[in-house]
Amino acid sequence: MSKSTNADQENTAEKSNPKTGAQAVVASLEEAGVRVIFGVQGGAIMPVYDALYDSKLEHITMGHEQGAAHAADAYGIVSGQPGVCIATSGPGATNLITGLADANMDSVPVLALTGQVPTNFVGNDAFQECDTIGVSNPVTKANFFATESETVGDLVSLAFLLAREGRQGPTLVDLPKDVTLGEVSDWKYKPPKLPDHVEIPDGADVKVVESAATALIDAKKPVILAGGGVIKGNACEQLYKFATEFEIPVVTTMPGIGSFPEDHELSLKPAGMHGTGYANMALTHCDVMLAVGTRFDDRLTGGVDTFAPTAEIIHIDIDPAEISKNIHADYELVGDAATVLSQLHKVMQAKPNAEEWLEQIKTWKQEYSIEYGERESNGKPRPQYIIEQLCEATESNTIVTTGVGQHQMWAMLYWTYKEPRTWVSSHGLGTMGYGLPAAIGARFAASDDQKVVCIDGDGSFLMTLQELSVAVREELDITVVVLNNAGIGMVRQWQDAFYGHRRMASEYPWVPDFSKIADAFGAKGFLLENVEDVESIIREAIEYKGPSVIDARIDPAENVFPMVPSGGANGLFALTEEHLEEL
Amino acid sequence: MGEKSKGLKGPSPSDRPHPNERRNPQGIRIDPGSSGELENRLATFSALVKHEPGVLAKVSGLFSRRQFNIESLTVGPTEDENSARITLVVDENDTGIIQVKKQLAKLLPVISVKELSEDAVERELCLVKITNHFDQGNSLEQLKELVEKEGVDILDISDGTVTIEVRGSKRDIDDMIEMFDEFEIKEVARTGTVALERGSKKTT
Ligand SMILES: Cc1ncc(C[n+]2csc(CCOP(=O)(O)OP(=O)(O)O)c2C)c(N)n1
Ligand SMILES: [Mg+2]
């Protein structure tokens, strides 16, 4: 019997009164407002799947558990609510790990449920046993081993809450089969509460807020560094008001993309290893930096010794452990980004006197423009041009997901992001293969009038392209654009720059025809080889209702600039290969 | 090798203004010319944790993951059966010490954590097993004399060994082990430091 007819026949009375641990788990998800979960079936998790049979929860079977975790992650980014993924014990659980590590690095709310062998087998190296708690410890915000059927529902509710509250992150509940099969006599959903000792800071210390405001008002060269925390803390409006009223230029981190509209004259786009020259100049020469919701990752800072070496730093973060971890903060403002930005706004008596600085920044924007020139290179369309055209062909609420590599950096530089939660990428972990499953997860969280575009690399696409089967099966309207440079271009670029052009294992002697792969899956494939076809193929693919894949053949010699060599000084970014040699 | 890619326009790195100022490895701005190196010190932390399985793995995992230099870690029950106390001695600079505290506090099973004052009461227990063949001109009598003088206890004399018990601060024990070094030490077992704040001051 198919699931849907069965679910329709059941009435809800049974649901509100779970009889097993597994039913309590499912009821807890339903009560938390979960609509869709991503996963793969298997022995130890079968009791939970059996409970799903009677549930209205939508379950999306993924091709691989890594895909389930990335889909849940993207769902978490786009919706702000924990994305849920589910897997069996052993290999199911270990396959989730990459996705959880990714979510952990990028502070994305994800709840993972894993099956486990029955409690009395734990520790015996039973079939498909794995110490999931041990393995997931370093890559989750919190994890729990369920021990009782009667309370397993509450444990899932708590894990869901913890994923979402405070600094967001992935949580996991490991579910031994006897616990999910076990009877529940009297369990009812209770809204979860944080444990008493867990305090989530709200507003920051008023005195520090005041002195930070004074520092900003006195600044001659102020800059705002907006991180992912601005988006996760729903503080984009506060940021916009603050930056525009006090005329302070805004640089973002990569996860912070979309926190401030990039078409605004105060926007300097992202800084860091492949950030814009003007953003890196602004960070290098500012005298006061207001950093919000960022952990000063090394891809952003470059060498710590040369990072904003003349700046006093005001750091707002909900996680006190991020403040002065990598870069010392002169003003520590622990709290929720929206609340603290409002606090700061209230005590800002005047705007900084920064005319000269704003002029300087205008000059830098011209001097270090990311204008790429030709549309074509060696007879092939250039990736920068393709991305610009994609951006033009779509509305500003379009969601972009990416793999990891050069294509990701072009997607960051040459698309103009105007809205929060439209940039969905793998930053801290840098996981190739993120793009397609993320597009699937994003599709489920997006509204109907939003397009979802995955800008992928050929190498990244090859890591998770089996998820195309999910997109076709579920009739998902997504467009994948593979910037196909027949190789793992980012590695090739590093080899050319730092390893004397010794291209070990970075050039593919052969790549499949991705447009034919798409056709074989039942998606719509396009082969893009000529610059004249860019606009029309993009239009056709975007308009196609369902999954489409453009195999865009680009010049393998194309490099990403600007580039700060790792550990280098942000202000000394290279714009050409000659610059790299000079450094 | 393919053709060179074009790159972007703009002044070359050497044609740009560049500040001379610097930060130290902890990201603190420093005076030009100074190394800005921070000195390490020993800090004792007490953490009250939930008495549940896996807590110790979470704490020790944190320390290895974040490369904190740990001198000792002890764990045991407290006055409350639902919680356990972990005492940690770390060797870190001030930035590291603050990080230790903040990272510990973030672990869900950690109820509270505090760096203890310098005058906190600290104790460690140590067992030292010494071989009872005194060939370098030492004798059991000499050992007993030293034991008496230092006020430590002999717990066992058997099978050609003497096992003594030493109590004190970590430093006391280090000194004492050195003192007994003239005898042949076979085995040492140390508990690591436990500590409580003095008087009305609450530990955690
Ligand atoms: C899972 C994983 N393995 C290896 C890497 C190392 N890596 C970083 S970028 C890159 C190249 C990616 O190739 P592709 O997806 O084709 O992107 P391109 O740089 O060619 O645009 C590699 C191998 C990684 N980031 N992730
Ligand atoms: Mg590639």
CATH of the domain at A96: 3.40.50.970
Which CATH number does the domain housing residue A300 bear?
3.40.50.1220
User: Which residue's structure tokens are 């009812």?
Assistant: A188
Instruction: Tell me whether residue A194 is in a domain.
Output: no
Q: What pLDDT was estimated at residue B2?
A: 43
Using the mean position of ligand 1's atoms as its centre, give its distance from the Cα of residue A457 in Å.
Answer: 8
- Is this structure's pTM higher than 0.90? yes
Nearest alpha-carbon partner for A433 in A70, A60, A65, A61: A70
Q: What pLDDT was estimated at residue B160?
A: 86
Q: Other C-beta atoms within 10 Å of A172: how many?
A: 29
Dihedral class, residue A324 (left if φ above 0, else alpha if ψ from -120 to 50, else beta):
left
Q: How confident is the model at residue B35 (pLDDT cuts 50, 70, 90)?
A: confident
Of A277, A321, A501, the CB nearest to B1: A501
Residue ranges making up the domain that contains A117? 7-181
Q: A362 and A380, same structural domain?
A: no
Both tokens of B149, joined, read 């003088």
Domain boundary among B99, B115, B131: B115
Q: What pLDDT was estimated at residue A202?
A: 84
pLDDT greater than 60 at residue A53: yes
Using the mean position of ligand 2's atoms as its centre, give its distance from the Cα of residue B137 in Å.
Answer: 75
Using the mean position of ligand 2's atoms as its centre, give its distance from the Cα of residue A435 in Å.
Answer: 13
pLDDT greater than 60 at residue B3: no
Q: A169 and A130, same structural domain?
A: yes
Q: How confident is the model at residue A64 (pLDDT cuts 50, 70, 90)?
A: very high
CA A329/CA A331 separation, integer angstroms = 5
pLDDT greater than 90 at residue A530: yes
CA A180/CA A152 separation, integer angstroms = 8
Q: A89 and A22, same structural domain?
A: yes
Helix (H, G, I), strand (E, B) or coil at A351: coil
User: Which residue's structure tokens are 């203004």?
Assistant: B17
Q: What pLDDT was estimated at residue A150?
A: 97
Q: Are A1 and A26 in contact (CB under 8 A)?
A: no
Q: What pLDDT was estimated at residue A499?
A: 95
pLDDT digits (tens, 9 = 90+) for A114-168: 999 999 999 999 999 999 999 999 999 999 999 999 999 999 999 999 999 999 9
Q: Are A258 and A422 in contact (CB under 8 A)?
A: yes
Angle between helices A21-31 and A149-164 (to 10 degrees): 30
**For residue B23, what is the nearest residue in chain A, using CA coordinates?**
A305
Q: Is A558 on the interface with B (CB under 8 A)?
A: yes
Q: How confident is the model at residue A583 (pLDDT cuts 50, 70, 90)?
A: confident
Q: Is A95 on the interface with B (CB under 8 A)?
A: no
Which of chain A's residues have a Cβ under 8 Å away from the Cβ of B6?
372-374, 377, 576
pLDDT greater than 50 at residue A8: no
pLDDT digits (tens, 9 = 90+) for B56-66: 999 999 999 99
pLDDT greater than 90 at residue B141: no
Which of A273, A436, A465, A491 should be mutated for ligand 1, with most atoms under 8 A from CB?
A491
Nearest alpha-carbon partner for A28 in A19, A18, A36: A18
Q: Other C-beta atoms within 10 Å of B31: how many?
A: 9
Give me the mean pLDDT over the B18-43 stretch.
93
Predicted ipTM of the assembly = 0.93
Q: A162 and A22, same structural domain?
A: yes
Q: A159 and A12, same structural domain?
A: yes
Q: B101 and B86, same structural domain?
A: yes
Find out whether the peptide bond into A309 is cis, omega within 30 degrees of 0: no
Instruction: Tell me whether residue B12 is in a domain.
Output: no
pLDDT greater than 50 at residue A500: yes
CA A2/CA A6 separation, integer angstroms = 7
Q: B150 and B103, same structural domain?
A: no
Instruction: Tell me whether residue A307 is in a domain.
Output: yes
Q: How confident is the model at residue B4 (pLDDT cuts 50, 70, 90)?
A: low
Which of chain B's residues have a Cβ under 8 Å away from the Cβ of A280?
none
Instruction: Tell me whether residue B16 is in a domain.
Output: no
Both tokens of B6, joined, read 């074009």
Ligand lying closest to the C-alpha of residue A405: 1
Give me the mean pLDDT over the B46-54 stretch.
95
Q: Does B17 contact A556 at a Cβ distance shorter than 8 Å?
A: no
Instruction: Tell me whether residue A48 is in a domain.
Output: yes
Q: What is the DSSP track for B106-166?
A: HSTTEEEEEEPPTTSEEEEEEEEEEES---SS--HHHHHHHHHHHT-EEEEEETTEEEEEE
Of A328, A371, A557, the CB nearest to B28: A328
pLDDT digits (tens, 9 = 90+) for A359-394: 999 999 999 999 999 999 999 999 999 999 999 999
Beta bridge partner(s), residue B185: B130
Comparing A1-10, A373-382, A404-413, B93-102, the range with the smallest average pLDDT is A1-10
- Which amino acids bring their CB within 6 angstroms of ligand 1? A 403-407, 430-432, 457-460, 483, 485, 487-491
Q: Could you give the count of Cα atoms lying within 13 Å of A180 in the half-sphere of its Cβ?
A: 29
CA quadruple A261, A263, A268, A272: dihedral positive or negative?
positive
Q: Is B22 on the interface with A (CB under 8 A)?
A: yes
Q: A266 and A150, same structural domain?
A: no
For ligand 2, a single-atom ion, the residues with CB < 5 A are: A 457-459, 485, 489
Domain boundary among A367, A388, A423: A367
pLDDT digits (tens, 9 = 90+) for A408-454: 999 999 999 999 999 999 999 999 999 999 999 999 999 999 999 99
Q: How many domains is chain A built from?
A: 3
Q: A236 and A134, same structural domain?
A: no
Instruction: Tell me whether residue B3 is in a domain.
Output: no
Q: How far is CA B112 from the centre of its chain?
A: 19
Which CATH number does the domain housing residue B147 bear?
3.30.70.1150
CA A164/CA A108 separation, integer angstroms = 8
Residue ranges making up the domain that contains B170? 121-196
Give me the mean pLDDT over the B21-38 stretch.
91
Distance from CA of A386 to the nearest CA of B (A): 17
Which CATH number does the domain housing residue B63 bear?
3.30.70.260
Instruction: Tell me whether residue A498 is in a domain.
Output: yes
Mutate to test the interface with A, among B108, B110, B113 (most CBs of A within 10 A): B108
Q: How confident is the model at residue A1 (pLDDT cuts 50, 70, 90)?
A: low
Distance from CA of B23 to the nearest CA of A (A): 4
Q: Is B28 on the interface with A (CB under 8 A)?
A: yes
Give me the mean pLDDT over the A235-260 stretch.
98
Nearest alpha-carbon partner for A243 in A351, A329, A336: A351
Using the mean position of ligand 2's atoms as its centre, give its distance from the Cα of residue A507 in Å.
Answer: 9
Q: Does A377 contact B6 at a Cβ distance shorter than 8 Å?
A: yes
Using the mean position of ligand 1's atoms as its centre, give its distance from the Cα of residue A411 in Å.
Answer: 14
**For residue A137, what is the nearest residue in chain B, using CA coordinates?**
B58
Q: B95 and B152, same structural domain?
A: no
Q: A296 and A240, same structural domain?
A: yes
Q: What pLDDT was estimated at residue A452?
A: 98
Q: What pLDDT was estimated at residue B36?
A: 87
Instruction: Tell me whether residue A571 is in a domain.
Output: no
Helix (H, G, I), strand (E, B) or coil at A184: coil
pLDDT greater than 50 at residue A350: yes
Instruction: Tell me whether residue A126 is in a domain.
Output: yes
pLDDT digits (tens, 9 = 90+) for A161-212: 999 999 999 999 999 999 999 999 999 999 999 999 999 988 999 999 999 9
Q: B134 and B93, same structural domain?
A: no
CA A574/CA A493 separation, integer angstroms = 13
Q: B192 and B138, same structural domain?
A: yes
Strands (E), A110-246: 110-116, 142-145, 170-176, 222-226
Instruction: Tell me whether residue B202 is in a domain.
Output: no
Q: B128 and B76, same structural domain?
A: no
Helix (H, G, I), strand (E, B) or coil at A400: strand
Instruction: Tell me whether residue B153 is in a domain.
Output: yes
Q: What pLDDT was estimated at residue A7?
A: 46
Both tokens of A2, joined, read 């198919």
Q: Does B108 contact A195 at a Cβ distance shorter than 8 Å?
A: yes
Q: What pLDDT was estimated at residue A514?
A: 98
Domain boundary among A319, A338, A367: A367
Q: Which secondary-structure segment (H or E) carries A360?
A: helix A355-367
More confident residue, B32 or A447: A447
Q: A539 and A391, same structural domain?
A: yes
Q: B144 and B96, same structural domain?
A: no
Instruction: Tell me whether residue B28 is in a domain.
Output: no
Q: Does A137 contact B61 at a Cβ distance shorter than 8 Å?
A: yes
Which of chain A's residues have a Cβ under 8 Å away from the Cβ of B2?
378, 555-557
Q: B130 and B163, same structural domain?
A: yes
Q: A348 and A214, same structural domain?
A: yes
Domain boundary among B93, B115, B137: B115
Domain boundary among A339, A367, A395: A367
Which of chain B's residues have a Cβ under 8 Å away from the Cβ of A155?
none
Count contacts between A and B (CB, < 8 Å): 129
Which DSSP category does A510 fall into? -
Q: How confident is the model at residue A2 (pLDDT cuts 50, 70, 90)?
A: low
Q: How many domains is chain B built from?
A: 2
Both tokens of A278, joined, read 């003007």
Instruction: Tell me whether residue B9 is in a domain.
Output: no
Instruction: Tell me whether residue A91 is in a domain.
Output: yes
Domain boundary among B78, B96, B115: B115
Q: A353 and A268, same structural domain?
A: yes
Nearest alpha-carbon partner for A252 in A286, A234, A276, A217: A276
More confident residue, A48 or B134: A48
Q: What pLDDT was estimated at residue B181?
A: 85
Q: Other C-beta atoms within 10 Å of A447: how many?
A: 7
> Which atom of ligand 1 is nearest to A463's Cα?
1
CA quadruple A59, A65, A67, A73: dihedral positive or negative?
positive
Nearest alpha-carbon partner for B123 in B204, B195, B201: B195
pLDDT greater than 80 at residue A12: no
How far is the CA of A209 from the CAs of A252, A332, A348, in angstroms? 22, 9, 10
**For residue A564, what is the nearest residue in chain B, using CA coordinates?**
B13
∠ CA A38-A40-A41, nearest 5°, is 130
Q: Which secondary-structure segment (H or E) carries A456?
A: strand A452-457
Q: A338 and A257, same structural domain?
A: yes
Instruction: Tell me whether residue A573 is in a domain.
Output: no
